[in-house]
Amino acid sequence: MDPFAPGTWVWYTPAGDKPSLLPAQILLDAPNGDPVVSANGQDLTVPRSSLRLMDPTNAAGVEDMITLAELHEAALFHNLAVRYKRNEIYTFTGNILVAVNPYQALSMYDLETVRKYKGVMLGELPPHVFAIANQTYVSLGRTGKSQCVVISGESGAGKTETTKLILSYLNQTSPTHSLVQEQILDASPILEAFGNAKTVRNDNSSRFGKFIEVQVAYGTGGGIVGARVVEYLLEKSRVISQSSDERNYHIFYNLIAGASDDERTQLHLGPVDSFLYLSKSGCTTIASVDDAADFKLIKESLHTLKFGDHQKSLFQVLAAILHLGNVSFQEAGDGAGISSMDTVKIVGKLTGLDSDKLANVLTKRTTVTRGETFVTPLSLAQAQDSRDALAKAFYGRMFSWIVKFISDTTVSKQNLPFVGVLDIFGFEDFAFNSFEQLCINFANERLQYFFNQHIFKLEQEEYQKEGISWQTIDFVDNQTCIDLISKKPLGLLSLLDEESNFPKSTDQTCLNKFHQTHEKNGCYVKPKTAKMIFGVRHYAGEVIYQIEGFLEKNRDTIRPDLMDLLATSSNSLVSNLFKAPPEEIQPEEDPRGAIGGLRRESSLGPGKGAPAKSASVKGKTSKSPTIGAQFNTSLAELISTLASCEPFFVRCIKPNSQKLPGVMDRDLVLAQLRYSGMLETIQYQLGITKMFMKSNLDATLEHSRSSALLTKIKKLQAFARMLKVRKEYKKLWGAVICVQKVIRVHLARKRRRKYLRRVVRLQAKWRARRAQISYVKLRDEARAAKAAAEAARVAELKRQEEEAARLLAEQEAEAERVRIALEEELARLKEAQEEAERRREKEKELARERATKAEEEARKLEQEEDEFEGLTMEEKKRQKELLKYLEEATAAREKKRLGGEGGLAMRAEDELISFYDLPKDLAELIRHVATVMYAPLKIDVYVSLALTSDK
Question: Binding site residues for ATP, as ranges?
Answer: 153-160
Q: Is the alpha carbon torsion for 66, 70, 74, 79 positive or negative? A: negative
Taking CA atoms, 194 is separated from 397, 519, 881, in Å, by: 12, 40, 139
Specify the pairing of strand 96-100 against strand 646-653.
parallel
Q: Closest Cα partner for 671 from 542, 498, 852?
A: 542
Listed residue (172, 318, 308, 298) closest to 248, CA to CA: 318
Distance, in Å, from the CA atom of 226 to the CA atom of 408, rounded to the nearest integer, reads 10
Other CB atoms within 10 A of residue 920 CB: 8
Q: What are the binding residues?
A: 153-160
SS3 for 754-814 is HHHHHHHHHHHHHHHHHHHHHHHHHHHHHHHHHHHHHHHHHHHHHHHHHHHHHHHHHHHHH
- Is 371 a known active-site residue? no
DSSP track, 150-192? EEEE-TTSSHHHHHHHHHHHHHHH-SS--HHHHHHHHHHHHHH
The answer to whether 684 and 691 have CB atoms below 8 angstroms apart is: yes
Q: Which of 428, 436, 445, 637 is catalytic?
A: 428
Active site residue 160: yes
- Dihedral-angle region of residue 822 (phi above 0 means left; psi in -120 to 50 means alpha; beta otherwise): alpha
Specify the 3-state DSSP secondary structure of 356: helix
Indicate which residue of 94, 123, 156, 491 is catalytic.
Answer: 156
- Cis peptide leading into residue 489 (ω within 30°): yes
* CB-based contact 224:184 (threshold 8 Å): yes
Q: What is the DSSP letter of 368?
A: E
CA atoms within 13 A on the CB side of 498: 15
Among 134, 196, 202, 944, the active-site one is 202
Question: Is 206 among the residues known to form the active site?
Answer: yes
Contact between residue 245 and residue 281 where contact means Cβ atoms under 8 Å apart: yes
**25 bridge partner residues:** 9, 38
Cβ pair 207, 235 in contact under 8 A: yes
**426 among known catalytic residues:** yes
Upper half-sphere CA count for residue 127 (Cβ side, 13 Å): 25
Q: Which of 163, 206, 326, 407 is catalytic?
A: 206
428 is catalytic: yes
Q: CA angle, corner 172, sides to 170 and 177, nearest 5?
A: 100
Following DSSP, what letter does each residue of 887-915 receive, concatenated? HHHHHHHHHHHH-THHHHHHHHHHHHHHH
Please enumerate in sequence order all residues whose Cβ is within 8 A of that of 57, keeping only pairs 6 or more positions apart, or say none.
67, 68, 69
Supply the DSSP symbol for 741: H
Are 242 and 280 within 8 A, CB to CB? yes
The 8-class DSSP code of residue 288 comes to T
Cβ(624)–Cβ(612) below 8 Å: yes
Catalytic residue, from 226, 426, 597, 605: name it.
426
End-to-end CA distance of the chain: 170
Which is catalytic among the residues 205, 409, 557, 571?
205
CB contact at 8 A, 818 and 907: no
Report d(CA 572, CA 764) in Å as an integer: 95
Q: Do 249 and 195 meet the contact criterion of CB atoms below 8 Å apart?
A: yes
Q: Return the amino acid letter for 94.
A: G
Strands 147-153 and 646-653: parallel
Could you confirm whether 554 is annotated as catalytic? no
The sign of the dihedral angle between the CA atoms of 441, 443, 444, 450 is: positive
228 phi/psi in degrees, rounded to 5: -120, 150
Active site residue 202: yes
Residues 218, 176: contact at Cβ < 8 Å? no
Residues involved in catalysis: 155-156, 160, 202, 205-206, 426, 428
